[in-house]
Amino acid sequence: MGWTHIQTQTASNDSEIDFDDPGFTTDYHEYLFLVTNYQPVTDSKHLAFQVDVGTGTTYGQTFTSSQFTAGHGTNDAWSLLENHGGQSGDAGFQQLSYGGEALSNYPEMGVSGYLRFFDPSNGVHIKHFESVFNTHYKSGTTEYIIDYRVAGYVDTTTAITRIRFEPKDSGNLGVGKFAMYGLS
């Protein structure tokens, strides 16, 4: 059986986007979030997420993750392959993408990618996730593509129930589609 579409939300100057009804349930073993043509309202604000284990807590789970970035400039004078360290037992929002300078000047540019969760509703294991997001932006006369990859886990054996996306640190989610899929 293939991926089942659960719900799609479209950003419209929102401080955050929540998937909690339905959120993560035992109906699906894996979950996939496809983010398409996302732009923050404020330039250079990275996309990030947090998860929760109930309905009355405050999206403060701890993440341990690794992260690396590849980049390329269309002037062929700049490229990048770099480990950025990730997070270590950090209860802040997990960064998913590079923000990108001057995105607001170029509506055709932005961020697309996916976040995949493995068995988030189990009550035995920690919760693995992986993500790949690429950012297309322009700085000066050069366009750039930044490939931002994260792999890690949420350090809880309690079932995860819901997820929240927001810009890392501050600002609103400007535009972009956030689609949730499940795999039995």
Tokens 């590079």 correspond to: 98
Q: Which of 129, 168, 133 is nearest to 152 (CA)?
A: 129
- How many residues comprise the chain? 184
CB 124 to another protein: min, Å: 28
Tokens 């809880």 correspond to: 156
Tokens 């810009």 correspond to: 167
CB 62 to another protein: min, Å: 18
| Interface with another protein, residue 82, by CB under 8 A | yes
**Tokens describing residue 42:** 């404020």
DSSP secondary structure string for all residues of 111-168: EEEEEEEE-TT-SSS-EEEEEEEEEEEEETTEEEEEEEEEEEEES-SSPP-EEEEEES
| Interface with another protein, residue 80, by CB under 8 A | yes
CB 46 to another protein: min, Å: 11
Using the contact rule CB under 8 A, the part of the chain among 30-38, 79-87, 115-123, 152-160 near another protein is: 79-87
| Interface with another protein, residue 142, by CB under 8 A | no
| Interface with another protein, residue 88, by CB under 8 A | no
Binding mask 94-133 for another protein (x = CB under 8 A): ----x-----------------------------------
CA distance 140 to 102: 9
CB 77 to another protein: min, Å: 11
Q: Which of 158, 172, 175 is nearest to 35 (CA)?
A: 175
- Which of 36, 64, 66, 172: binder of another protein (CB under 8 A)? 172
Complex with another protein: residue 80 or 126, whichever CB lies closer: 80
CA distance 154 to 110: 27
Complex with another protein: residue 122 or 172, whichever CB lies closer: 172
Contacting another protein within 14-33 (CB under 8 A): 14-21
Tokens 């689609």 correspond to: 179
Contacting residues toward another protein, per CB under 8 A: 7-9, 11-21, 80, 82, 84-85, 98, 169-172
